[in-house]
Structure 1
Amino acid sequence: MSERSVHHFPGEEIDVYWDERLCIHIGECVRAKGELFVSGRTPWCDPDVTERERVREIVERCPSGALSYVDKIGAPEPAPGENAAVVVYNGPLYCHGELALEGVGEVPAQAGTSRRVALCRCGASANKPFCDNSHRAAGFEDFGAVGEQGRGTFAADGPLAVRALPDGPLELAGNLVIRAASARAAWRGDKAYLCRCGASANKPFCDGSHQRVGFKGD
């Protein structure tokens, strides 16, 4: 993939980056009050029209990690106090936390440590393991209920390894809370295998269906 897919918007105190390969157009940026992001304007993002702290706050709303920043005065984006995997109604898995990504294919901007990603659950994305909104055309349906509770954990933060297993599920290893689409903290534990083929009968968890349907992870 071309480096031109990553767009740089420099500011005096803070720079903003947009990786269009990861963007699923949720709209948290353009719907924010103010003129940091204005559709149709050139440049679309202007970090100098908004206070630095406000820029940070708006960029950190992006659930896919397509937006990021480099603060020339302050610290890097902090890790959230909770590692969470949010099961989106008929959509992807939003992972937030101190994420260490593995097996992410050709997306070098997301290699290493990240804070926010949107991961495919339907099996149809052309940008696996990331969501590209293919669930809509594929007619993927899962309302985001979580029936299991997990083994429990005394902590919710710390490093969380997120690995896309070859032609298999997502392996999440580390302190983790899985939130149902209702926002309920449904599952707590330190290791989970989550479906990314779209065929599991026990969503969001893997039940081995990827072998039956011949799922290919790339």
Structure 2
Amino acid sequence: MSDDKCVDFRGDEIEVTWDGRLCIHVAECGKAKGDLFVAGREPWCKPDAATKAEVREVVERCPSGALTYRDRSGEPEAAPAENRLVVASDGPYYLTGDLEIEGAPDDMPGVRTRAALCRCGASRNKPFCDGSHEAAGFRDTGAVGEQGRGFRTAGGPLAVRPIKDGPVQAEGKLTILAGTGRVAWQGDNVFLCRCGASKNKPFCDGSHSAAGFKSDD
């Protein structure tokens, strides 16, 4: 399949769409048990090979939003009750929640609840990750040294705004998990490094200016 197009897989009760613009080949789908996704098979995805509930569950594992579904009953994918960001070791930010990503095309429905955001500075699809961190040799374990101000209750929309030639601002209640899985930071407004140069990752420290970072988004 070409990595620059969308492919629909139709079933009797549910339809699955794969968006090559967002896929970074984490393989949560391919490693799922059962015959829903089988590498090398045509078609690769057979929605009727699993129950509707199983299709929804496996598709929602996709961390980049490249996989989405349309339930024939009209029931949409529900946003998680809590906005969370995982600082992946040597990889992107994995973001889940009620997401409002500024500039995201309307034809990318998956990024309303799940997104992989570039933090190495090398992606050609900013603000989204395209896997360039591997070729760029990006290294950061995902350790988080700050705790944030916290909040009493989680949930609500999270506005994600890529700042031109600068960081990503996330405004709304957000929990950040370190690369180890530890709940590390909670707050309602944060500026996240996406140039790869900050000495206080995952937080922006202004290093993008000296690094000459250009965001092109």
Would you call these one fold, judging by a TM-score over 0.5? yes
Aligned partner of 2:156 in structure 1 is: 158
Q: Could you tell which deviates more after superposition, 152-161 or 187-196? A: 152-161
The number of aligned residues is 215
The SS at the match of 2:113 is strand
Moved over 2 A (4+): 107-113
Q: Tell me, which stretches of 5 or more residues in structure 1 are unaligned? A: none
Query: Which of residues 107, 124, 140 is equivalent to 1:126?
Result: 124
- Equivalence for 2:30: 30
Query: Could you say which residue in structure 1 is the equivalent of 2:59?
Result: 59
Q: How far off is 1:82 after superposition?
A: 1.2
Assess, with a 3 A threshold, how the Cα gap between structure 1 residues 21 and 48 changes in structure 2: closer, same or farther: same
Residue type of the alignment partner of 1:92:
P
Tell me how far apart the structure 1 counterparts of residues 19 and 111 of structure 2 sit (CA, whole Å). Answer: 16
Cα drift, residue 108 of structure 1: 4.2
| Cα distance in 2, alignment partners of residues 137 and 210 from structure 1 | 20
Report SS of the residue matched to 1:109. Answer: coil
Amino acid of the structure 2 residue aligned with 1:97: G
| Corresponding residue number in structure 1 for 2:98 | 98
Q: Which residue identity lines up with residue 5 of structure 2 in the other structure?
A: S
Q: After the TM superposition, which residues 4-19 of structure 1 pair with which residues of structure 2 at under 5 Å, given as runs?
A: 5-19=5-19
Query: Partners of 2:29 and 2:35 in 1: how far apart?
Result: 10
Alpha-carbon distance between aligned partners in 1 of 2:154 and 2:43, rounded to the nearest angstrom: 39
Output the amino acid matched with 2:43.
Answer: P
Q: What SS does structure 2 have at the residue aligned with 1:210?
A: helix
Q: Percent identity?
A: 60
Q: 1:68 to 1:36 in 2, by over 3 A?
A: same
Give a deviation string over 1:175-200, Cα, whole Å, max 9, x none. 10000011111000001100000000
Q: Which residue of 1 aligns with 2:140?
A: 142
SS in 2 for 1:211: helix
Query: Does the 8 A contact of 1:101 with 1:112 survive in 2?
Result: no
**1:33-48 superposed matches below 5 A:** 33-48=33-48
User: Helix, strand or coil: the match of 2:32?
Assistant: coil
Q: What corresponds to 2:20 in structure 1?
A: 20
CA distance in 1, matches of 2:124, 2:111: 23
Alignment partner of 1:90: what SS? Answer: coil
Matches within 5 A, 1:154-193: 154-193=152-191
Q: Which runs of 5+ in 2 are unaligned?
A: none
